[in-house]
Chains A and B, each alone.
Chain A
Amino acid sequence: MNITAYIVLSGILFTIGCVGVLTRRNAIVVFMCVELMLNASNLALVAFSRQHGNLDGQVAAFFVMVVAAAEVVVGLAIIMTIFRTRRSASVDDASLLKY
């Protein structure tokens, strides 16, 4: 098995997520991009796990999934609340907390 393809794919996915986080304004899309980055790293972890022939990477991937699930719960709740009060899901609008 050639690990390179998996790692490249993982890098592409991570970059897409990263660019998405930095460029998109819609909080939901930003959130989805964050998930994309997490899953890109999961892919890399599983690929390396397969490469090394042990389960360490897969365990780590499970942990990431659990954390991501928890994070989604909290994150979506916050986005919901912001949307309710401001009628907007744009991350740029929520910029009151600053210098």
Chain B
Amino acid sequence: MYAFNEGGAIPVVDPTTADGVFTLLWLVVALPLAGAAILLIGGRRTDRWGHLLGTALPIGSFVISLVLFISLLGRGDDERQVMQHLYTWIEVGHLNVGMDLLYDQLSALFLLLITGVGSLIHIYSIGYMAHDPRRRRFFGYLNLFVAAMLVLVLSENYLGLFLGWEGVGLASYLLIGFWQHKPTAAAAAKKAFVLNRVGDMGLSLAIMMFFVLFGSTSFHVISEAAGNASEKQMTILGLLLLLGACGKSAQFPLQAWLMDAMEGPTPVSALIHAATMVTAGVYLIVRSNFVFDRAPDARTVVLVVALISLFWGAWIGCAKDDIKKSLAGSTMSQIGYMMTAAGLGVAGYPFAIFHLLTHGFFKADLFLSAGSVMHGMNDDVDMRHYGLLRKAMPVTFLTFTMGYLAIIGFPGFSGFWSKDGIIETALSQNILVGVLAALGAGVTGFYMTRMMLMTFFTDKRWEKDVHPHESPTVMTGPLVVLAALAVFGGLLILNDWIVDWLSPVTGTAPHESPPIPALAISAIVFVLVLAGAAVAWLVVGRQAVPRTAPTQVSWVTRAGREEVYGNVINDTLVVDPGRHLTAGVLATDRYVVDGALTGGPVAIGAVAGVARRAQNGFVRSYALSLLGGALIVALALLAVNLA
């Protein structure tokens, strides 16, 4: 599909040993990890100040990340990969895995996103969870989440990455099911965990294959030796890694957990969707560029999965009345954009990361704003009970609007630059992918405008005893910062900065101009977005929105409300056969295995019960059987002798 290995050599991870300020690298992970340990082990004693410590430590991590980033900026391009060896983790035979941290251009950006947006979400949570009796525990889990994600992006080998990967899975399980008294939340947590296991299987198989092929799991070793492997091996590796990425990033066909994950507290949703968790899949693919650059077929599969997810998520986002689930659908769709970019190869990687960063800003902004709305609406999530909130919550309205303009790609806002970058790259590589991505932008315009109108405009449809009010400053403060980032995040593309910055990690692509001028593409995409917004206005803005969801709707809406039957498909293909299988195994065990074990003795007992009647105590009957026996023996002897 694409020219193999276009744009010159595939970059090799070749870090220098950390010195100077970079020896502080381990602290970035250690601080939130210590926070999690103190808060979770310390127990009730830490209740009073736990949330403050839990917030201060990620902020500390952010400050260190910032210092490290500035130091990295001061270095030359060839000195920007730094490795810190902490200790030897596993040493068995040929397997030698170090606890090594790799700080390069890619992980530097991730560090800033995770600790920066993560810290803002921590601050916001102080207000959001103020009345929860288990707030200290919540902050412990949040710190664990951040620490696991930092391990994921900082590790220098796949095994360390897997450690963080699983840590993220654990933390998300704990946080999605944080309100464990609700059965739906407990079920959602379990579902997220199980679906992630499916993806983890792919990743762990990939790691084993890396070890078999290259004798190591280190990025450094693998990227250097990757040229020796055949394209077929690389394709298999790519597909396995993609399976892992699909699980973590909620891409088709492992997307079903993302909607249910909305059962968790809203800051968790923001953290999962913006800074941690779902971005891990994109990171994995971009980090494994030395695999995907050599496996065009795997990249094609990535593109297919990405485009399906892009529209699948958008479809869900269009139909849901639950503001959080609608946003979750939009996340799936936006991650689809990132995966599309990653599937395009060298030219796309920087835009995947760029969109990941801007998405981190505006999606955190949108989710936290939605949380602020819910805070004022007695935790009601149904957008049909909202309306005209722009008067009651001016700050939240403003921040949500910034996020809204960013996600639909309004010119000048961060989402515009990143999404247009992806669409342009796609168009110059493959017209079909580009056209589909552009159409997706139009759908984004529709569902986000629908959300915007139903929440902040139209008529009041509030419940009787609801009195919407603006949230406290501790919540609006982070919102304002995130809104500013959502507006100005696009500056990263100034002068192609992010593309040049990442090129030592992801490779340099030859400049290919799209078939039509970039300005025209932007204009067309913007017209599509406006068209989507206009349709949304026709549907919910011009006419009154009913307070209960209408039931007489087209199959498109019905399918969207059912999450495009993702759960039905899973149930039919996996859950029900699995249930029948376990029932069958249980029945086999109970009736066949146990039956054989207990049935034999029972049968013998029954036969003996009949046979023992012969022992009747009468001597004469014994004598008769003796005679009978003797006769038989005699007849047998005669028969033998005469024959």
Contact = CB atoms under 8 A, between A and B. Distances in A.
B612 A92 contact: no
Contacts of A96: 617
Residue of B613, B616, B618 most packed against chain A (CB within 10 A)? B618
B615 A95 contact: no
A96 B619 CA distance: 11
A70 interface: no
A95 B623 contact: no
Q: Is the interface of A mostly helix, strand, loop or mixed?
A: loop
B620 A22 contact: yes
B627 interface: yes
Q: Is the interface of B mostly helix, strand, loop or mixed?
A: helix
A95 B616 CA distance: 7
B624 interface: yes
Contact of A98 (B615, B620, B623, B627): B615
Interface residues of A, number: 14
A5 interface: no
Contacts of A30: 619-620
Contacts of A95: 616-619
Given A18-B627, A22-B624, A22-B627, A94 B619 contact: yes
Nearest to A25: B620
B573 to A, nearest CB: 60
Interface residues of B, number: 11
Nearest to B630: A18
B620 A99 contact: no
Contacts of B613: 99
A98 B619 contact: no
Contact of A92 (B615, B618, B624, B627): B618
Contacts of A36: none
Contacts of A25: 620
Given A22-B623, A98-B616, 7 more contacts: A22-B620, A22-B627, A91-B619, A92-B618, A98-B615, A98-B618, A99-B612
24 contacts: A21-B620, A21-B623, A22-B623, A22-B624, A23-B620, A25-B620, A30-B619, A91-B618, A91-B619, A91-B620, A92-B618, A92-B619, A95-B616, A95-B618, A95-B619, A96-B617, A97-B617, A98-B615, A98-B618, A99-B612, A99-B613, A99-B615, A99-B616, A99-B617
Interface of B: 612-613, 615-620, 623-624, 627
Interface of A: 18, 21-23, 25, 30, 91-92, 94-99
